[in-house]
Structure 1
Amino acid sequence: MIKNIDSHIDELDLMKKYPKELYYKGNINLLAKIKISIVGSRKPNQYAREYTHILASKLSKAGLCIVSGGAIGVDAICHKAAGSDNTIVVAATGLDKRYPAINAKLIEDVEKKGLVLSQFKEGSSSNRYNFVLRNELVVALGDVLIVTYADLKSGSMRSVEYALKMGKKIYVLTHRIGESKATNKLLQEGKATAIYDIDDFVRKFSDVNETSIISDDFLEYCKANPSYEAVVKKFPSRVFEAELSGEIHIKNARVYLS
């Protein structure tokens, strides 16, 4: 059921124009949590996929809510890693649609357990300007903005522009020369701070102590792309659950993080 948000959201005062209407499905109480916005390319490389998942997962386990735009690539990885009950999807369409269609199941799960927001009334379809407004809302909601992978002149860089105007701190993953050129340029220009250690980064924003940041041995093991047979033997119960939830995928009898 689509509902209107009638209460004022202080974080959105940083937007160029406070939304006239804001619609939602799900658990509106997530807005009261500390929120971290994560954005990035629709086609991140394998390194960015792995560390985006680890970063979003550990932030979520430390009690922080993950905000992103529901798109394929980095957005979807963040929502899945955070868990559907601790993430906010900001849509670029009316909430009678689930866009993109490839993420319809993911968005439906978040509607039931987490929170999906939109500035657009029912029947609104996706268009270029809607995505611009969606990006501004994603940035405004988070205490900081993390960009895990981005190309020059990308939508993610529009999000960076919003973050700079709002005075938000920007963080990026470290990348090799020639990869994620936009985030490397942000580092070069001193507009972003690099994340070198994910656990140290999570501690900056969480109220939990060090032992509360859970290390996921299963995901760490899968980072090396072990054989499916070896994973089943070592983690017999976890592997099937992770495959169903989309945390991992199998290719040529080897396991890869999604």
Structure 2
Amino acid sequence: MISTIDFEIPELRNLKKPIKKLFYKGNIKLLKKPKISIVGTRRALNYTQFATHQLASKLSFAGNCIVSGGAIGVDAISHKAAGTNNTILVSPCGLNHRYPAINKKLIEEIEQQGLILSSFDEDFKSTRYSFVLRNEIVVALGDILIVTQADLNSGSLRSVEYALKMGKEIFVLPHRINESQGTTLLAKNGLAKVIYDIDEFVEQYAKTPLKEEKEDSFLEYCKKNPAYEEAIIKYDSLVYEYELTGKIKIKNGFITLP
């Protein structure tokens, strides 16, 4: 069901032009949580995919809601790693469309468990301008902006421009020479800070006690005998840690307790 937000969202005061209407599907309470925006290329390197997943997953467990734009690549990885019940997707089209089609299943899961926002009427089809406004809203909603990979001509650098105008801190990942030259240039020019240690970075933005909460919730989760792939998405490296220490067992693609 598509509804209209009938209250002010303070973060959106930073937009260049006020939004007349904001439509949504899902859990509107996520707007009240601390939020971190993660964006980047559609063609993410293996390293970027891994690091993005680590960041989104751990920041989500630390009590932050992850905001992104629903595109393939970094956006989709961020939404999945955060858990579809703790992510906000800002759409470039009306909510009767699920764009891009390749992410249809992910978008449907976020509709049911997380939150999808759009500033366009329900049947509106995306245009060049609608992507621009989508990106601006993604940046505005987050307390900070993380760009995990972007080339010199990447659209993600437009998001950086918005963040700079809004006075938001920008963070990037370290990359090898000639990779992600856009984010490397941001760091070189002092416009972004580099994340060298993911756990240390996450600790700065932790809204809940990390280790105890993760351990307790994970063991409770395992009592339901979840699918291994689902557990990896939700709990990442904690699955491997518990398997190695004998706290859980994996059999026929499912997790059980000893």
TM over 0.5: yes
Offset at residue 61 of structure 1 (A): 0.8
Which whole-Å CA distance do the structure 2 matches of 1:202 and 1:210 have between them?
A: 9
Offset at residue 126 of structure 1 (A): 1.2
Q: Kindly indicate whether the alpha-carbon contact (under 8 Å) linking 2:61 and 2:210 is maintained by their aligned counterparts in 1.
A: no
Deviations along 1:116-164, one digit per CA (max 9) or x if unpaired, are: 0000001111111100000000000000000001111211000000000
Offset at residue 110 of structure 1 (A): 0.4
Offset at residue 201 of structure 1 (A): 0.8
Distance 1:189 1:5, change over 3 A: same
The RMSD of aligned alpha carbons is 2.3
Letter in 1 for 2:185: K
Letter in 2 for 1:45: L
| Counterpart in the other structure of 1:206 | 206
Which whole-Å CA distance do the structure 2 matches of 1:214 and 1:240 have between them?
A: 19
> Secondary structure of the residue that 1:8 maps to in structure 2?
coil
Distance 1:238 1:49, change over 3 A: farther
Which whole-Å CA distance do the structure 1 matches of 2:31 and 2:185 have between them?
A: 32
Distance 1:237 1:69, change over 3 A: farther
Q: Kindly indicate whether the alpha-carbon contact (under 8 Å) linking 1:62 and 1:212 is maintained by their aligned counterparts in 2.
A: no
Distance 1:41 1:21, change over 3 A: same
Matching of residues 79-228 of structure 1 within 5 Å: 79-209=79-209, 211-212=211-212, 214=214, 219-220=236-237
Deviations along 1:222-242, one digit per CA (max 9) or x if unpaired, are: 99xxxxxxxxxx96259568x
Which whole-Å CA distance do the structure 1 matches of 2:249 and 2:73 have between them?
A: 27
Q: Kindly indicate whether the alpha-carbon contact (under 8 Å) linking 2:140 and 2:166 is maintained by their aligned counterparts in 1.
A: yes
Distance 1:125 1:237, change over 3 A: farther
Which whole-Å CA distance do the structure 2 matches of 1:50 and 1:239 have between them?
A: 22
Which whole-Å CA distance do the structure 2 matches of 1:79 and 1:238 have between them?
A: 27
Letter in 2 for 1:93: C
TM-score by length of 1: 0.84
Which whole-Å CA distance do the structure 2 matches of 1:70 and 1:7 have between them?
A: 24
TM-score by length of 2: 0.84
| Counterpart in the other structure of 1:252 | none
User: Does residue 65 of structure 1 match 2:79?
Assistant: no
Which whole-Å CA distance do the structure 1 matches of 2:166 and 2:237 have between them?
A: 35
Tell me which moved more, 207-216 or 41-50: 207-216
> Secondary structure of the residue that 1:236 maps to in structure 2?
strand
Q: Kindly indicate whether the alpha-carbon contact (under 8 Å) linking 1:60 and 1:86 is maintained by their aligned counterparts in 2.
A: yes
2:250 to 222, 231, 236: 236
Which whole-Å CA distance do the structure 2 matches of 1:51 and 1:239 have between them?
A: 25
Count residues in correspondence: 232
Offset at residue 208 of structure 1 (A): 2.5
Letter in 1 for 2:60: S
Offset at residue 205 of structure 1 (A): 1.1
Q: Percent identity?
A: 58
Letter in 2 for 1:236: I
| Counterpart in the other structure of 1:38 | 38
Distance 1:48 1:86, change over 3 A: same
> Secondary structure of the residue that 2:80 maps to in structure 1?
helix
Q: Kindly indicate whether the alpha-carbon contact (under 8 Å) linking 1:90 and 1:134 is maintained by their aligned counterparts in 2.
A: yes
Q: Kindly indicate whether the alpha-carbon contact (under 8 Å) linking 1:58 and 1:213 is maintained by their aligned counterparts in 2.
A: no
| Counterpart in the other structure of 1:55 | 55
Which whole-Å CA distance do the structure 2 matches of 1:43 and 1:171 have between them?
A: 19
Gaps in structure 2 of 5+ consecutive residues: 219-230, 241-247
